[in-house]
Amino acid sequence: MNTVIIGGSNTGLMNGIVLKRLGHNVRILEQNPESKRDDFAAGITTHPIFEEFMERHDRTAESWSIHSPGVQFLDKAAAVTRHLNKALQMTSWGVIYHHLRANFDGFSSNFCPNPPEPEKGDGVTVFDCGKRVTGLRRITSGVEITYEDLLNQKEKGTLLADIVMVANGANSALRSAIFTGVERLYAGYIIPGTDGSIVPGHRRYNWVWYHPVTAGSPELENIMTDTSGVVHRNTLPVGTMQPSEWAAYIVLASKVMCPPFAEMVQKTTQPFITAISDVSCPRATAFNGTVLIVGEALNLMRPHMALSTTQSAMQALMLEKFFKREITLSEWEKQVLHYGCVGALKTNAFGSFFLYGYLSSAGWLVKLASSVLGSLPPFSWLSDMAEVGSTVQK
């Protein structure tokens, strides 16, 4: 079977690796013209589902995470007030991306200098950079994909696939064209968020600061305006925040944070700013099951519980079951939609609690209880913690 995946980030790669291992031919169309990708210093905490994916499908000999024994809560004086014993694996977007690339198409990088050789029975894989998909059309023999070649003067081209997967993120115009009315909505706050070494002394210290900012306010516009005067809607690239804006947050940090955290903020000269937002698609399939929507194109989760990468791994593992005929496509869709819904409600409740207190999370918890009835307990990832103290894109 020939599959085209639109979007070459981690979601597209995970699904592509699964299909490759099952003997299917996979072509990824990625709009970015560069194979080597910056990770924007974005840290990721993984969960057991992603770790299962890596155990099953990672053929590299390189380590991809740093073990953390648990979570600590500090007061204003930096004293530990609570400790949760929960083993976590800490990594970064770039480490995961380059490990997945090594497994998908043998891409060599500083992260994985010796990618694994193809195995007997693997499908043929292609990672096609600089391709902006402009439309999908259902035809008798499959799905027709139209695209522009950004590396060749926007020359137009077409491809035919048996299955198409839309994995091009929360801003997916293709998803919006298929499911009109699905919009990415600002959630009300922002976060500042080199070679993949895990050796002490060469690792990064990743920190996140959630700060409420009113939608449409001058404060939000000022924060999202870069040094050249361009206003960004979702993400302010590293190194482009206006120094005067960042200086105000350094002062604020010294007032509201304990000294170690305030020091981290003060020593950060190039913050990575993202406006937290929500988007959820009502269906995971289209065009009579020949188009599948996955990853953040399907469901964008707030980052409080680090469930986005785990969601993509879950979808890929369920896709593997579908192609092995262990479940039907409708069962795959039902499971990925339910997982996304529960995950979004859990992380929203979690974030509201830590930002505003118990009462603010009550509404999310009620919705969560309704959704997980007979399924997952609320905050299931914390439960085992021992507490000590034809569409056309225009």
The structural domains of the chain, ordered by start, are 2-182+281-350 (3.50.50.60), 188-276 (3.30.9.60)
What does the pLDDT profile of the chain (394 residues) look like in tens digits?
999 999 999 999 999 999 999 999 999 999 999 887 765 557 788 889 999 999 999 999 888 988 888 888 888 899 998 888 888 888 888 889 999 999 999 999 988 999 999 999 999 999 999 999 999 999 999 999 999 999 998 899 999 999 999 999 888 889 988 888 887 776 665 555 455 556 666 667 778 888 888 988 999 999 999 999 999 988 888 889 999 999 999 999 999 999 999 999 999 888 888 888 888 899 999 999 999 999 999 998 887 777 889 999 999 999 999 999 999 999 999 999 999 988 888 888 777 777 777 777 777 677 777 776 655 444 333 333 323 324 444 4
pLDDT score of 195: 52
According to DSSP, the β-strands at 291-293 and 163-166 are parallel
Cα separations in angstroms, 43 against 101, 207, 270: 18, 8, 15
Alpha carbon distance 364, 361 (integer Å)? 5
Looking up tokens 């990743």 gives 206
pLDDT score of 390: 42
pLDDT score of 210: 85
Alpha carbon distance 44, 388 (integer Å)? 25
pLDDT score of 239: 85
pTM of the model: 0.83
Phi and psi torsions of 231, nearest 5°: -90, 125
Range 121-148 burial, b when 16+ CB lie within 10 A, else e = ebbebebbbbbbbbbbeeeeebbbbbbb
- The DSSP annotation for 254-289 comes to HHHS-HHHHHHHHH-SS--EEEEEEEE-S-SEETTT
Cα separations in angstroms, 86 against 80, 323, 381, 387: 16, 34, 9, 9
In DSSP terms, 89 is beta-bridged to 46, 67
What is the residue type of 107?
A: F
Q: Is the dihedral of CA 110, 111, 114, 118 positive or negative?
A: negative
